[in-house]
């Protein structure tokens, strides 16, 4: 098939490269010229394991091109929308202007009988609004919603081998035809037995935001309990292991720590509450506000631990921050808890030296006031306190003995609960985790 992907960011670039890998001819379209230039040269514009190889092979085989000229996408059978839906400044609602602009652009070039497929995460009701827009502009073109569940850091695998496919389609024959077109796009995944759920448009939109709201709630649940564990002298990790054995609960997403961040979960739960308000059902999702508050408080808790460990003030103290990206195996620093902690400590007068295997460039663009060291050893030099905030393997595997030779003092906050407290204490460290005795 001929496939276009509008929006070549974290989601769209991977989707485009993966679609080419599946044998489709793909035109990636973005309004950002520098992004298109880099992608056309086979260079990923962000860190995502496996993406550079996929880009190169797609381009070399002549199946993948990137352009800013939307007319090059005119022959596509299927147009994916993968543009951003960020939080609107000053509001919790999602900013849908990029989605509307992409739809308008596609409607202007799409051939009759082609299909537009939304992948961006949108508030429920958005697709219905877009269907109306399309009826005015290109009545022969269909719209479906196919939410994306990929995880940054595993995006290539998640796109090539999704754990489920959800198609939201319009009613009637048209919806049947649209679902068949999506089946052709995802033929390999379907042949491999990937579950496929076909719904109406509203359900497909809601599936995505509900999944993210559930994950966020799970994380904030364990973090809230970790606060109780901390004052009660209990161990949140053992507790999570114990309740996680219950198949109804499950162990995943029950790791207490500095909380969630990134370009999805925080803005998605806020947009969900904003949409609930618009629908006159704000109280049904009021708990998500508390999920958000708990999550923000985790960052504060880490800062408070730092102040306490350094005797009541971090002013003029040297603090090594291990990690700036919002999660390991990603360079994404959007709403990163790690970066937030670093900025707060800097604001309290600390000399913050932040390090990260991949995220420094992005972090530096947002927060040039921080000092960055690409090498973890350089960041650790003479530190009064080490704060592990993003659980990259190289930080998980730090040797407590070697680390103590580099730092000035022996204080460590394990804001992801990934180190062995007994081992670090035995080697002379004052270890503080989240909700660990
Ligand atoms: P991003 O900001 O990395 O990428 C968005 C891209 O869209 C940018 O490159 C931007 O230049 C481009 N764009 C904006 N307007 C355009 C237009 N009119 N035509 C063509 N390109 C345009 O964002 P992202 O992280 O890739 O997220 C995109 C969407 O996917 C969001 O709705 C997000 O919630 C959703 N999503 C993201 C992930 C993820 O892990 N990043 C996972 C699932 C869903």
Contact between residue 147 and residue 159 where contact means Cβ atoms under 8 Å apart: no
State how far the Cα of 191 lies from the Cα of 27, in Å rounded to an integer: 25
**Cα 263 to ligand 1 centroid, rounded to whole Å:** 9
State how far the Cα of 33 lies from the Cα of 135, in Å rounded to an integer: 31
Contact between residue 314 and residue 345 where contact means Cβ atoms under 8 Å apart: yes
Domains of the chain: 2-199 (3.40.50.720), 216-432 (3.40.50.720)
Contact between residue 211 and residue 252 where contact means Cβ atoms under 8 Å apart: no
6 lines ligand 1 (CB under 6 A): yes
**Cα 430 to ligand 1 centroid, rounded to whole Å:** 42
329 lines ligand 1 (CB under 6 A): no
10 lines ligand 1 (CB under 6 A): yes
Q: By C-alpha distance, which of 255, 166, 313 is closest to 433?
A: 255
Helix (H, G, I), strand (E, B) or coil at 24: coil
Q: By C-alpha distance, which of 377, 373, 386 is closest to 406?
A: 377
The closest residue, in CA terms, to atom 10 on ligand 1 is: 7
Sign of CA dihedral 223, 228, 230, 233: negative
| Residue 88 DSSP class | P
Contact between residue 331 and residue 359 where contact means Cβ atoms under 8 Å apart: yes
Q: Which of 8, 9, 151 to mutate to test the pocket of ligand 1 (most atoms within 8 A of CB)?
A: 9
Q: Which of 12, 14, 119, 215 to mutate to test the pocket of ligand 1 (most atoms within 8 A of CB)?
A: 12
State how far the Cα of 110 lies from the Cα of 117, in Å rounded to an integer: 12
Q: What is the pLDDT along the chain (437 residues), one digit of tens a residue?
A: 999 999 999 999 999 999 999 999 999 999 999 999 999 999 999 999 999 999 999 999 999 999 999 999 999 999 999 999 999 999 999 999 999 999 999 999 999 999 999 999 999 999 999 999 999 999 999 999 999 999 999 999 999 999 999 999 999 999 999 999 999 999 999 999 999 999 999 999 999 999 999 999 999 999 999 999 999 999 999 999 999 999 999 999 999 999 999 999 999 999 999 999 999 999 999 999 999 999 999 999 999 999 999 999 999 999 999 999 999 999 999 999 999 999 999 999 999 999 999 999 999 999 999 999 999 999 999 999 999 999 999 999 999 999 999 999 999 999 999 999 999 999 999 999 999 99
Global pTM exceeds 0.95: yes
Residues designated catalytic: 264
Question: CB under 8 Å to 191, separation ≥6 — which residues?
Answer: none
**Cα 219 to ligand 1 centroid, rounded to whole Å:** 24
Q: Which atom of ligand 1 is nearest to the CA of 35?
A: 9
Q: Which atom of ligand 1 is nearest to the CA of 94?
A: 32
Q: Which atom of ligand 1 is nearest to the CA of 105?
A: 18
**Cα 333 to ligand 1 centroid, rounded to whole Å:** 15
State how far the Cα of 435 lies from the Cα of 227, in Å rounded to an integer: 6
28 lines ligand 1 (CB under 6 A): no
Calculated CA dihedral for residues 376, 390, 404, 303, nearest 10 degrees: 120
Contact between residue 7 and residue 81 where contact means Cβ atoms under 8 Å apart: yes
31 lines ligand 1 (CB under 6 A): yes
Helix (H, G, I), strand (E, B) or coil at 80: strand
Count Cβ atoms below 10 Å from residue 91 Cβ, excluding itself.
11
Q: Which atom of ligand 1 is nearest to the CA of 147?
A: 44
264 lines ligand 1 (CB under 6 A): yes
Residue 104's H or E segment, with its range, is: helix 97-109
The closest residue, in CA terms, to atom 34 on ligand 1 is: 121
The closest residue, in CA terms, to atom 22 on ligand 1 is: 7
């Amino acid at each position: 098939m001929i496939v276009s992907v509008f929006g070549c960011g974290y989601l769209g670039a991977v989707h485009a490269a993966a679609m080419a890998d599946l044998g489709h001819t793909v035109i990636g379209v973005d309004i950002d010229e520098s992004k298109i230039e880099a992608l056309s040269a086979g260079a990923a514009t962000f860190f995502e394991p496996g993406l550079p190889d996929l880009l190169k092979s797609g381009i070399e085989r002549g199946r993948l091109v990137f352009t800013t000229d939307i007319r090059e996408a005119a022959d596509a059978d299927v147009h994916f929308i993968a543009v951003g839906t960020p939080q609107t400044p000053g509001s919790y609602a999602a900013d849908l202007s990029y989605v509307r602009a992409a739809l308008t652009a596609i409607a202007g070039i799409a051939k009759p009988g082609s299909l537009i497929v939304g992948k961006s995460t949108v508030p429920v009701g958005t697709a219905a609004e877009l269907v109306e827009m399309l009826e005015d502009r290109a009545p022969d073109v269909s719209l479906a919603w196919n939410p994306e569940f990929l995880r940054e850091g595993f995006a290539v695998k998640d796109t090539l081998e999704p754990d489920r496919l959800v198609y939201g389609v319009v009613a009637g024959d048209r919806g049947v035809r649209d679902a068949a077109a999506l089946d052709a796009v995802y033929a390999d995944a379907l042949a491999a037995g990937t579950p496929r759920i076909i719904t109406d448009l509203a359900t497909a939109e809601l599936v995505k935001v509900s999944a993210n709201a559930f994950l966020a709630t799970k994380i904030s649940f364990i973090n809230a309990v970790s606060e109780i564990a901390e004052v009660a002298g209990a161990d949140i990790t053992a507790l999570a292991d114990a309740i996680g054995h219950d198949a109804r609960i499950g162990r995943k997403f029950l790791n207490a720590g500095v909380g969630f961040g990134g370009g999805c979960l925080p803005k998605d739960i806020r947009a969900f509450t904003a949409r609930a308000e618009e629908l006159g059902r704000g109280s049904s999702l009021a708990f998500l506000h508390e999920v958000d508050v708990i999550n923000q408080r985790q960052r504060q808790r880490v800062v408070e631990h730092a102040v306490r460990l350094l005797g009541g003030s971090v002013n003029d103290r040297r603090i090594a921050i291990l990690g700036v990206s919002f999660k390991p195996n990603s360079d994404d620093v959007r709403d990163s808890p790690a970066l937030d902690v670093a900025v707060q400590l800097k604001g309290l007068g600390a000399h913050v030296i932040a390090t990260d295997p991949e995220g420094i460039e992005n972090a530096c663009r947002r927060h040039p006031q921080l000092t960055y060291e690409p090498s973890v050893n350089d960041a650790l030099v003479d530190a009064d306190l080490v704060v592990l905030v993003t659980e990259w393997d190289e930080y998980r595997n730090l040797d407590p003995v070697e680390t103590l030779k580099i730092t000035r003092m022996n204080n460590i906050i394990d804001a992801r609960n990934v180190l062995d407290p007994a081992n670090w204490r035995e080697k002379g460290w004052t270890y503080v985790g989240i909700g660990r005795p």
